[in-house]
């Protein structure tokens, strides 16, 4: 009959579909599938029955065989399905994310928290002595740079001035503003409650730079540290450059390396300060103002006089970048003009070149800390000091080579970024002590601990900024429900 004629063809097609699946050992019965280790091809899917049964018998056998094979597939699919921490079923993770499903998050968080608490309790006189030592290194750079400032522009003066500027920010100002020495500095000079804050005199004495210290405290200490890798993290490089298109993404990337502190960081930190002030007062933001969008100097100029910015241009110039521009490039070298005008212009040239070098140096050790195709982004907020908070500190940060004061000084002490984000208010010395133990905890729990030299990280950051690579997205179904939180003002 016609059905009998088409049976072998149907059997062959089904055999092709199901051949890759071996049967489990001990399967017997249905349509002759009985031998351990035999595949569907060994059975009646090869053609008519051994006893020459009719086409109806063959069709019945095929139906039963299909049901059996589908059952095997479904069982195996169940075994391959992983469960999220909330209990819901999720699809199999990509290879690079497999560690997530195996992680004992609570155990990991507990050990990281306990290590941080122990390091904090051990802080004392040795941490304060170490701070003073690093402060003297910082001042030595300034001394050499200023003593040779009148020379024609030269590498020694430029490098020493640049090292002074960068280390004053990333080492002294950075850790003091986080409160790393609040409990060890009896003088209060390096307290987070007063260092460089409150007046132009304190800013000039403690840490004079392009950024306003109060603004940086909001942008960095609060938003960046406690929303790391989230959409509301102001330092999320990948999001900040997503609108860069065509040749602009290459030009802007290279330009950013040389001018980013005054062209981006100064206006953006000030924007975050003003947004925070408006929210605290309960006042609305200007219509159409996107608080997540990065604020650049170009944006400041474009919005001047429109009423669509959160601050006035003259306030930005007079309060943020104006004092540094005037005191650093005009008043500082001015006494040399009384001796010889040529000395003055030599000094201005050295200061200008040093600023470019300081911009590049700080870009390399700052912008690369949380950028690369091996680091993670997140879709939800998390509670501070929760296991998830500690996990994000590790998997959304990278360390550079660590150990030794000279090496760490050259990296601006930003080579301990993982430890710093886990415990923001510790001293520089504590990060040196805690780094090896943190790395061991990560190895124990299978958490990826990224540590590479700055040039490899610069290449990975460049790839993200030019859209050649993208950061990993942490699967939201694996977030711990008890650690999730929604920040005020967000839905």
Band the pLDDT of 482: cuts 50, 70, 90: very high
pLDDT for residue 6: 38
- Average of per-residue pLDDT values in the chain: 85
Question: How many angstroms separate the Cα of 86 from the Cα of each of 46, 379, 479?
Answer: 46, 16, 8
CA distance 118 to 190: 22
For the chain, the farthest-separated pair of C-alpha atoms sits apart, in whole angstroms, at: 115
Phi (first) and psi of residue 315, to 5 degrees? -70, -40
Closest CA to 286 of 318, 262, 310, 250: 310
pLDDT average, residue stretch 408-413: 98
- Residue 41, pLDDT > 60, answer no
Q: Report whether 37 contacts 23 (CB < 8 A).
A: yes
Q: What is the pLDDT of residues 190-243, one digit of tens each?
A: 999 999 999 999 999 999 999 999 999 999 999 999 999 999 999 999 999 999
Query: Cβ contacts of residue 43 below 8 Å, gap of 6+?
Result: 31, 32, 33, 65
pLDDT for residue 491: 57
pLDDT for residue 10: 35
pLDDT for residue 487: 81
pLDDT for residue 75: 46
pLDDT for residue 486: 87
- Residue 14, pLDDT > 70, answer no
Polymer length of the chain: 491
pLDDT for residue 78: 41
Full DSSP string of 80-121 = H-EE-TTS-EEPPPPGGGHHHHH--HHHHHHHHHHHHHHHHH
Question: How many angstroms separate the Cα of 400 from the Cα of each of 79, 238, 407, 454?
Answer: 40, 20, 10, 6
Q: What is the pLDDT of residues 278-333, one digit of tens each?
A: 999 999 999 989 998 999 999 999 999 898 999 999 999 999 999 999 999 999 99
pLDDT average, residue stretch 159-176: 98
């Amino acid at each position: 009959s016609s059905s009998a004629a088409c049976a072998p063809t149907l059997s062959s097609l089904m055999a092709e579909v199901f051949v890759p699946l071996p049967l489990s050992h001990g399967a017997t019965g249905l349509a002759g599938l009985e031998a351990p280790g035999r595949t569907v091809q060994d059975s009646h899917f090869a053609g008519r029955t051994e006893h020459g049964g009719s086409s109806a018998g063959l069709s019945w056998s095929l139906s039963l065989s299909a049901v059996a094979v589908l059952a095997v597939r479904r069982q195996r699919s169940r075994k391959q399905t992983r469960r999220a921490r909330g209990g819901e079923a999720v699809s199999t993770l990509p290879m690079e994310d497999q560690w997530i499903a195996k992680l004992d998050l609570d155990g990991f968080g507990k050990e990281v928290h306990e290590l941080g608490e122990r390091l904090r309790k051990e802080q004392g006189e040795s941490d304060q002595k170490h701070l003073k030592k690093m402060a003297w290194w910082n001042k030595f750079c300034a001394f050499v740079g200023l003593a040779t400032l009148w020379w024609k522009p030269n590498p020694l003066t430029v490098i020493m001035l640049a090292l002074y500027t960068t280390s004053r920010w990333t080492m002294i100002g950075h850790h003091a503003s986080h409160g790393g020495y609040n409990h060890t500095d009896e003088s209060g000079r390096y307290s987070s409650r007063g260092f460089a804050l409150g007046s132009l005199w304190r800013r000039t004495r403690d840490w004079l730079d392009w950024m306003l210290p109060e603004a940086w405290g909001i942008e960095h200490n609060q938003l960046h540290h406690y929303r790391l890798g989230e959409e509301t993290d102001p330092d999320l490089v990948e999001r900040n450059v997503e609108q860069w298109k065509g040749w602009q993404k290459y030009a802007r990337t290279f330009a950013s390396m040389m001018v980013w502190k005054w062209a981006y960081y100064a206006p953006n930190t000030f924007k975050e300060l003003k947004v925070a002030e408006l929210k605290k007062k309960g006042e609305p933001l200007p219509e159409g103002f996107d608080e997540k969008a990065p604020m650049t100097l170009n944006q400041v100029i474009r919005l001047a006089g429109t009423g669509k910015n959160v601050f006035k241009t003259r306030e930005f110039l007079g309060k943020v970048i104006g004092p540094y521009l005037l005191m650093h490039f005009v008043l500082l070298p001015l006494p040399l003009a009384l001796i010889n005008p040529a000395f003055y212009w030599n000094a201005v040239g050295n200061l200008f070149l040093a600023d470019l070098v300081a911009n590049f140096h700080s870009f390399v050790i700052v912008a690369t800390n949380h950028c690369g195709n091996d680091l993670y982004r997140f879709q939800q907020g998390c509670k501070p000091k929760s296991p998830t908070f500690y996990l994000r500190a590790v998997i959304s940060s990278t360390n550079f080579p660590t150990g030794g004061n000279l090496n760490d000084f050259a990296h601006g002490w930003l080579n301990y970024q993982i430890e710093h984000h886990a415990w923001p208010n510790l001293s520089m010395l504590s990060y040196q002590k805690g780094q090896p133990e943190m790395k061991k905890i990560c190895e124990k729990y299978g958490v990826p601990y990224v540590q590479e030299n700055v040039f490899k990280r610069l290449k990975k950051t460049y790839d993200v900024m030019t859209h050649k690579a993208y950061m990993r997205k942490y699967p939201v179904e694996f977030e711990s429900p008890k650690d999730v939180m929604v920040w005020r003002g967000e839905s």
